[in-house]
Amino acid sequence: MVQSGEDSLQSDPRWTIAVDLFNHQAWYQAHDAFEELWQETIGPDRPLLQALVQIAVAHVHLERANLRGATVLLGEALGRLAGCEDGSLGLNLNDLRACVSSRLKALQAGGDAADLPLPHLSGQLI
């Protein structure tokens, strides 16, 4: 088990790999990498990890033209992110929330999110 907390999770080499996969839009692989960490983590970082899993899976759904699945997962991820403080795990969550929210609103309105920026993980420790 990975103890929740910035030091222990961010020192895990799998964290860096997961973030890199996410930032290179390797959504399926990022999902797998974050899910592995999520399953092994106990503590307050679990919701953030689960949100990252959901964002990645939502983008797999978008690649497969499953707009309903993507919309549901982006909404669930945004709900989980709402409970996370900006800077958790060294991430700029305000920017991530804004990006996910924009993409979700476009999908909910029946539009296309393809013209909107893709989620990107940034922050102090990235």
Ordered DSSP codes for the chain: -EESSHHHHHTSHHHHHHHHHHHTT-HHHHHHHHHHHHHHEESTTHHHHHHHHHHHHHHHHHHTT-HHHHHHHHHHHHHHHHTS-TTGGGB-HHHHHHHHHHHHHHHHTT---TTSPPP---BTT-
**Mind listing the pLDDT tens digit of every residue in the chain (126 residues)?**
555 555 588 889 999 999 999 999 999 999 999 999 999 998 899 999 999 999 999 999 999 999 999 999 999 999 999 999 999 999 999 999 999 999 999 999 998 888 899 999 998 654
Write the CATH number of the domain with boundaries 2-108. 1.10.3450.10
Give the residue from 1, 40, 37 showing the smallest Cα distance to 16. 37
Structure tokens at 68: 């309903």
Stated pTM of the model: 0.92
Length reported for the chain: 126
In the chain, domain spans:
2-108
The per-residue pLDDT for 112 is: 85
CA dist 111 and 12 (Å) reads 38
